Amino acid sequence: MRLRTFLIAATLVGVFVFLTSRQNSPMRTFLRDRGPVWTGPSVAHSAGLSSDETNNIDIYKASRESVVYITSTVYQRDFFFGVQEVQGLGSGFLINPDGQILTNFHVISGSSDVEVTMPPDQSRYKAKVLMRDRAHDLALIQIDPKKKLSSFLKLGDSDSLQVGQKVLAIGNPFGLAGTLTTGIVSSLHRKIQSEDRGDLEDMIQTDAAINSGNSGGPLLDSQGNVIGINTAIYGPGGGNIGIGFAMPINRAKVMLDDFKGGRRPASSTIGVSTYLISGDWAEALRLPRTGGLLIGQVLRGTPAAAAGLRGGSQVVRIGNGLLRVGGDLITAVDGKRVEEENAITKAVARKHAGDTLDLTIWRDNRSMDVKVTLAEQGDGTL
């Protein structure tokens, strides 16, 4: 009996010694690599929020009551000549305590009635259209809240944006009021086509989810400042695929200045089609190597035509493309050397109808200055 007890004890000791001597055995490594044994939730990890999450929450709480729901009503004749009511949905945001709201032109375009629904109590107000800037898809409307509003958004600076910086979009996609999405600035200075087939230039591209109903809502930076107005998306069937566009807020500031000064907004174009050329291409055309914007065509009845700018006289093939040559080369705009395709658009965006654009052009082997007076938009102040 004693011998049996001794043998059992010795066996247990041997097993213990064997196991402790196998600290680095393949079997132990395999078991360890399967992961640690779960011992319950980590209080330290789950209790807090990251700094980025906190930033998102703070901006949403501070901004959500300033983002409104806009319903525009248009009365149309149906097939049987009856009057049919058609409603459009969009977003907008308050910019001051007096009830003024920025949104997109296409949100209120052609509307007989514009109604604004205010968060958080869902109160409704009839809105008056104060200003339309069709060329930049912008509009200024106003409600009468009966008292000064405490919640409105601060306008930021869209000229200082950087690709990669964080942005937040708040709006009412598909009627889902107060929706927040986040993303980054994906690109800058994009050109897209508007609903009326015109071009919207200098747009901000973002991957923050923007869908139908987001139009007119604010695009915010990480400080909660408005840096753009959500305008359009690129995607099949109108759904979001991560390519959205916002009008830079600095363009809206120009419209606001026009309204305060009783001016009509300037047209977004001077009436020319241009090509950005430089280097070997410029030298091949016997133009300065530093290049600029080569005018291909000047439209009749436009500011460019009135200023005497000249378009191309013949078409040549360069590489795989056709280029209209022989026209003026714009080398500087308002004293700044041309380095970007949208140099004229950016300069015009800061001006008003009646202002002049100072161009330096190359014509007949010499440099000369030309002043172009900006025209009014066809659809300005009501």
* Residues with catalytic roles: 106, 137, 215
Q: Are 60 and 168 in contact (CB under 8 A)?
A: yes
Q: How far apart are CA 267 and CA 269, in angstroms?
A: 5
Structure tokens at 253: 């500031």
Strands annotated E in 278-382? 292-298, 314-318, 321-325, 329-333, 336-337, 356-363, 366-373
Calculate the alpha carbon distances from 264 to 76, 103, 170, 185, 355 in Å: 29, 18, 30, 31, 11
Q: Residue 224, Cβ neighbours under 10 Å: how many?
A: 19
- Alpha-carbon Rg for the chain in angstroms: 31
Closest by Cα among 346, 314, 315, 108 to 216: 108
H-helix segments, 141-288: 249-260, 279-284
H-helix segments, 67-120: 105-108
Q: Residue 231, Cβ neighbours under 10 Å: how many?
A: 27
HSE, CB side, 13 Å, CA atoms: give it for residue 337.
7
End-to-end Cα, the chain, rounded Å: 111
